[in-house]
């Protein structure tokens, strides 16, 4: 009997820091089992060997920031049966989307000695603004256990089991004392997507939203609480403008506090 063909996985990079791809390499304990179940066919961060597509599952890291990338993502979509975006860059435009609030031409002339060599789009945008996406895994970087769950789900034809609730729920589950209630430390946990096991509050710090917005976040209510804690309007703008600044709920909330 011929051996069953293993599903082919590809990992693609756009504008990003590679941190989310490294989460896959960080799956040390699970990597052997993973390579037994799938053929890691295209992953240039890890291997120079590239097996041609089509691919059963593509993981896409990074945002679209150049005309070339805006074309390339369509090629990736064409050769991918399923396409999953990984990380804040791919799902929300990333920290590089801070430029979306300014005139990019002015920034280029300030940053680069020879701006005429720079070919860039006006905005850094998430992958879903360009092609259809089958699933989005949030985080900066993503959680490796959630990544394994997403890969496993797609290979088995089921929906990934990743929670859509807030970091607060994770805080309660692990019995962490609430930093906002205990000592008035501003925390974005109530509006931030779960996935990190409430890492920052467990070290007595407020969450700064690196997992991006949860499903239906009440950002206006949280801003009100932060104002009671003494955070200025400018402070609120900056709080919502970090890794997920261009995710719609965070973008709208930051804009509502601009002078």
Task: State the residues that interact with ligand SF4 by CB under 6 A.
Answer: 16-17, 19-20, 61, 87-89, 94, 140-141, 167-168, 171, 178-180, 187, 189-190, 192, 196, 198-201, 207-211
CB of 167 to ligand SF4, least distance (A): 4
| CA gap 124, 153 in Å, rounded | 29
- The CB-of-3 to ligand SF4 minimum distance in angstroms stands at 35
> Smaller CB distance to ligand SF4: residue 9 or 171?
171
Which secondary-structure segment (H or E) carries 135?
strand 135-137
- CA-based nearest residue to 88, from 236, 223, 213: 213
Of the candidates 179, 240, 231, the one whose C-alpha atom is nearest the C-alpha of residue 208 is 240
Nearer residue to ligand SF4 within complex by CB, 73 or 207? 207
Report the DSSP pairing between strands 80-86 and 135-137: parallel
Smallest distance, ligand SF4 to C-beta of residue 206, A: 6
Q: Smallest distance from the beta carbon of 2 to ligand SF4, in angstroms?
A: 39
CB of 150 to ligand SF4, least distance (A): 15
Q: What tokens were used for 171?
A: 């805080």
* Measured distance CA(57)–CA(40) in Å, rounded: 10
37 vs 218 by CB, closer to ligand SF4: 218
CA separation for the pair 12, 108 (Å, rounded)? 26
Query: What is the smallest separation between the CB atom of 133 and ligand SF4, expressed in angstroms?
Result: 15
Asked whether the beta carbons of 61 and 89 are under 8 A apart, the reply is: yes
Cα-Cα end-to-end distance for the chain: 70
> Is the alpha carbon torsion for 218, 221, 227, 229 positive or negative?
negative
Among residues 190 and 249, whose Cβ is nearest to ligand SF4?
A: 190
| Edge-to-edge strands, sheet with 8-13 | 39-42, 8-13, 55-61, 80-86, 135-137
Between 27 and 51, name the residue whose CB sits nearer to ligand SF4: 27
Q: With respect to ligand SF4, which residue has the nearer C-beta, 147 or 179?
A: 179
């Amino acid at each position: 009997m011929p051996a069953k063909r293993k599903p082919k996985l590809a990992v693609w990079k756009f504008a990003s820091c590679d941190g989310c791809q490294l989460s896959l390499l960080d799956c040390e304990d699970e990597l052997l089992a993973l390579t037994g179940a799938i053929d890691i066919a295209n992953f240039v961060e890890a291997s120079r060997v590239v097996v041609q597509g089509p691919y059963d599952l593509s993981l896409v890291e990074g945002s679209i920031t150049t005309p070339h990338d805006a074309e390339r993502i369509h090629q990736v979509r064409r050769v991918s049966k399923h396409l999953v975006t990984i990380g804040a860059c791919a799902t929300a435009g990333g920290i590089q989307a801070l430029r979306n609030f300014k005139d990019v031409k002015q920034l280029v002339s300030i940053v680069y000695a020879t701006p005429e060599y720079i070919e860039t789009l006006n905005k850094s945008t998430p992958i879903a603004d360009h092609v259809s996406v089958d699933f989005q895994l949030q985080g900066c970087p993503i959680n490796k256990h959630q990544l394994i769950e997403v890969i496993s789900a797609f290979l088995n034809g089921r929906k990934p089991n990743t929670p859509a609730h807030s970091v607060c729920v994770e805080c309660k589950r692990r019995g962490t004392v609430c930093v906002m209630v205990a000592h008035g430390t501003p925390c974005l946990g109530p509006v931030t997507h779960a996935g990190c096991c409430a890492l920052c509050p467990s070290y007595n710090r407020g969450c700064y939203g690196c997992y991006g917005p949860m499903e239906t976040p009440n950002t206006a209510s949280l801003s009100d609480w932060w104002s009671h804690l003494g955070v200025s309007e400018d402070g609120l703008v900056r709080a919502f403008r970090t890794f997920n600044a261009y995710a719609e709920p965070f973008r709208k909330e930051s804009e509502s506090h601009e002078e």
